[in-house]
Amino acid sequence: MSAGANSGLSVQLVSFADDGALVINRPALNDLVASAPLDERLVVVGMCGPARTGKSLLLSFLAGHLTGQHDPAFMFGWGRQAVTLGVWGMRTLLPVALRDGSKARLLILDSQGLFDSQLSEARTMRIFALTLLCSTVLIQNLSKQVQEDNLQSAAMYSSFAKLVRSQTDAPRLGFHTLFFAVRDWQFDDDDDVDDDDAYLAQILRPKGDADLDGTREALASTFDHMHAALLCHPGRTRSRTAPTHYRR
Ligand SMILES: Nc1nc2c(ncn2[C@@H]2O[C@H](COP(=O)(O)OP(=O)(O)O)[C@@H](O)[C@H]2O)c(=O)[nH]1
Ligand SMILES: [Mg+2]
């Protein structure tokens, strides 16, 4: 299957109306909800981050790993144009086992790139807040290293999501785990970085500066857990073919 083609394994759950309002695909969402066993937990993994940074490819890899399917679950492309619009979800909930051995169902959500040239600041905030509030684990995709602006934007959008949540009757929605997926990781001269979470802990350590520490405190008080995964570039050939070849 070529990049940009829809394999049918995922469905658009949220789109934008012309006036910028979010339009929810209720029939598809109802089908997903109806298929969730009542005695199993539902885990939602959502993805967000800048446009054209391999979000859909990574999620397709994750879905392929869990289902054994070779067709990419989420449309991805190698041109400049964004391929993912709004929010897409897998058509089916995937059976998974949690660390404590209990059975759960996994929903994977892919979202349009933040700051892509088609999304205004207001639309970017809405996509981020919606994905965050729906996710048990929100993956923040970024390139090369976690930088201050990545932390600042995560903190800023999260505070908007908190405001949205305060207007719902679901006070426990979202903010469980923020997971930084660092793509094209290329530093191998730092012994502390053997453990990906140790790398993140270094970044999140207080710096003795009110601004920098304010951002860190905002994130720490917002999310129950924060983790990181440092991922190598998949290789030019590999990123142009079926997403089954990540090294880490
Ligand atoms: N640099 C880099 N590019 C990647 C990676 N994974 C995928 N790509 C490329 O990034 C481009 C956009 O992929 P896509 O998954 O559609 O990105 P999205 O817009 O963030 O969903 C394609 O050219 C991919 O081959 C990666 O880990 N690093
Ligand atoms: Mg995409």
User: In angstroms, what is the span from residue 61 Cα to ligand 1's centroid?
Assistant: 12
Is this structure's pTM higher than 0.95?
no
Q: Using an 8 Å Cβ cutoff, are 225 and 177 in contact? A: yes
Task: Report which bound ligand comes closest to the CA of 243.
Answer: 1
The lowest-confidence range among 30-44, 120-134, 140-154 is 120-134
Q: Are 243 and 58 in contact (CB under 8 A)?
A: yes
Ligand nearest to the backbone CA of 53: 1
pLDDT-based confidence at residue 191 (cuts at 50, 70, 90): low
Residue among 22, 25, 1, 8 at smallest CA distance from 92? 8
| pLDDT higher at 105 or 7 | 105
Q: How far is the CA of 224 from the centre of ligand 2 (A)?
A: 27
What is 10-239's CATH topology?
Answer: Rossmann fold (3.40.50)
Average pLDDT of the residues of the chain: 86
Q: Where are the domains of the chain?
A: 10-239
User: Distance of alpha carbon 234 from its chain centroid, rounded?
Assistant: 18
**CB-proximal residues (5 Å) to ion ligand 2:** 55-56, 84
pLDDT in tens, 193-242: 568 999 999 999 999 999 999 999 999 999 999 999 999 888 765 555 54
